[in-house]
Chains A and B, each alone.
Chain A
Amino acid sequence: MFNAVLVANRGEIAVRVITTLKRLGIPSIAAYSEADRDAKHVELADDAVCIGPAAAAESYLNVAAVLEAAKRSGADAIHPGYGFLAENAEFARSVAEAGITFVGPQPEIITAMGSKINSRRIMAEAGIATVPGLLEPVDSADAALIAATEVGYPVAVKASGAGGGKGFRVAHTSAELPAAFEAARGEGERFFGDGTVYLERYLTDPRHVEVQILGDTHGNVVHLYDRDCTIQRRHQKLVEEAPAPGLGDDFRQHICAQAVEAARAVGYVGAGTVEGLVAGSGSAGPEFFFLEMNTRIQVEHGITELITGVDIVEQQLRAAAGEPLSVRQRDVRIEGHAIEVRINAENAAKGFLPTGGAITRYEEPAGPGVRVDSGVGEGTRILPYYDSLLAKVLAHGATREEATARLIEALDAFVLEGPKATLLPFHRALLTTDAWASASSARDITSDPAAFMKASGGTVRGTPA
């Protein structure tokens, strides 16, 4: 397939990609910053190249340094993981121009989907239901006020490049709108270099449902069913499960078909995710609205792998190499239920503020149906330069209840000491609540996870107040 693949990322996703490369017998090359010399992904890879200082802008986000590392190490493909350069169309283009394969979709698709308002327009034209709202940007707070009366309050005010919880505000009334507009525009300019802002209806208590899709250069598009990622903090996911609870078979087929349509509409190649909101989940008439398309592997891809048995990284590599996908739609079946929790270096009791420290003791849980994707080990120092995700714990079972029980057991067995706090206790408590068991409403959990914890009587073991 490839002679060697450079993994332009760090942490658990770099480890995850290297694992599949090893299984396929493809030499792996880790890219690392000076702060990551002793990192797990560096140790695991067949070869490793330093790409610069600790600050991400000078290493993992440094296009020239990553390209140089690929050339120097003889890699003929680059896997970007998620985050960093994964959705940077300029990077994807530079990689191709250097005669190296970018493991991801075409740069034009990254550009088209990276602009949220543009992707809304493309999907609406393809006949896919989008969240009610504007297909054109608003260029001032006054224009937003006029448009909002049509969209209806509460409105979501979004920068066109919004992502990772940045560039997104909610205005419940017209009084809140001007400030929300300015904040979304400011963050859009600062984080995404794009001050374009548009409005959507802000759906109250929707479920966040997404569909994994795969496409190849032979015109095949396959979906791997859905995931529910409703439990979030600051618009970033904390817990994910597959399949989404509370969806009937017909509705599930409907949203998966919409996702395949969306992928076909742009000629998608590689692994991607069609994200949407489901309103009226559990009711007789649920509705699915397209939100955005992510043109990379997702953090939560592992739960889909557990229920379908498909190695998504392998399919990404096949598609990038111009080979057909090795999975056919009729062979994809949902086997059981899988749940993932993100073990972040964060203190839930302090409003999910990041925590530092070095890991002094580390023992991963094991057992039937349990999988841990981790980028850390004993001695790992948690650094402020990168995101707070240390590891993901996944559990697979015949039913949602069995998966939950296995996950709780795994979290109890997970030894991770050193950092002042992690989300381990938060997840242990969350999974034992009635709200989780019934998956009925996520409003309380998502609006204020810390308050939800207290109200539910969950024990916050090991988390300083």
Chain B
Amino acid sequence: MAAKSLAPADGLVWKIVKKAGDTVKQGEEIVILESMKMEIPVTAEIDGTITKLLVEEGQAVEEDDTIAEVG
């Protein structure tokens, strides 16, 4: 059962914390977005392994864009 991690807000990808293949726990940061001088974490929805990481550092994303998938 895969779970998508969505961007909570429009912003830029500031930091990739985890890479595809890494194991994560629910609530753990995968990517940190930066928007309007705020850091916004994108976290894992479930425990599992990151199957897809869809963004690169510096990339612009919109609210609700899929950032990663955890399966």
Contact = CB atoms under 8 A, between A and B. Distances in A.
A388 to B, nearest CB: 4
B50 interface: no
A355 interface: yes
A353 B8 contact: yes
B17 interface: no
Interface in B11-60: 11-12, 34-38, 40, 60
A353 B40 contact: yes
Given A350-B8, A384-B10, A384-B12, A356 B37 contact: no
A384 B34 contact: yes
Contacts of B8: 350, 353
Contacts of A309: none
Contact of B11 (A346, A384, A420): A384
Contacts of B62: 356
Contacts, number: 43
Interface string A376-410: 00000000111110000000000000000000000
Kindly name the residue among A346, A384, A388 whose own CB sees the greatest number of chain B CB atoms within 10 A. A384
B37 A355 contact: no
A385 B34 CA distance: 8
Contacts of B38: 353-354, 388
Interface string A327-349: 00000000000000000011100
Given A350-B8, A354-B10, A356-B10, A384 B63 contact: no
A387 B9 contact: no
B36 A387 contact: yes
Contacts of A420: 63
A420 B12 CA distance: 17
A127 interface: no
B10 to A, nearest CB: 3
A193 interface: no
Contacts of A386: 36-37
B37 A353 contact: no
A420 B35 CA distance: 15
Kindly name the residue among B34, B36, B62 whose own CB sees the greatest number of chain A CB atoms within 10 A. B36
A153 B63 CA distance: 39
Interface string A277-314: 00000000000000000000000000000000000000
A420 B8 CA distance: 13
Interface in A223-282: none
B54 to A, nearest CB: 18
Contacts of B35: 354, 356, 384
Nearest to A234: B38
Given A350-B8, A384-B10, A384-B11, A355 B63 contact: yes
A357 B9 CA distance: 11
A355 B36 CA distance: 9
B50 to A, nearest CB: 23
A356 B11 CA distance: 8
Contacts of A347: 9
Contacts of B60: 384
A353 B9 CA distance: 7
A103 B37 CA distance: 25
Nearest to A166: B37
A357 B36 CA distance: 13
A462 interface: no
Nearest to A344: B36
A322 interface: no
Contacts of A355: 9-10, 63
Contacts of A346: 36
A164 interface: yes
Contacts of A353: 8-9, 38, 40
Contacts of A384: 10-12, 34-36, 60
A53 to B, nearest CB: 12
A387 B37 CA distance: 6
B9 to A, nearest CB: 4
Given A353-B9, A388-B37, 14 more contacts: A353-B8, A354-B38, A355-B9, A356-B10, A356-B35, A356-B63, A384-B10, A384-B11, A384-B35, A384-B36, A384-B60, A386-B37, A387-B37, A420-B63
Please list the 10 inter-chain residue pairs (A to B) with the smallest Cβ-Cβ separation, ordered nearest first: A356-B10, A388-B36, A354-B36, A384-B35, A353-B9, A354-B35, A384-B11, A387-B37, A354-B9, A384-B12
17 contacts: A347-B9, A350-B9, A353-B38, A354-B10, A354-B35, A354-B36, A355-B9, A356-B9, A356-B10, A356-B63, A357-B10, A384-B10, A384-B11, A384-B60, A387-B36, A387-B37, A420-B63
Interface of B: 8-12, 34-38, 40, 60, 62-63
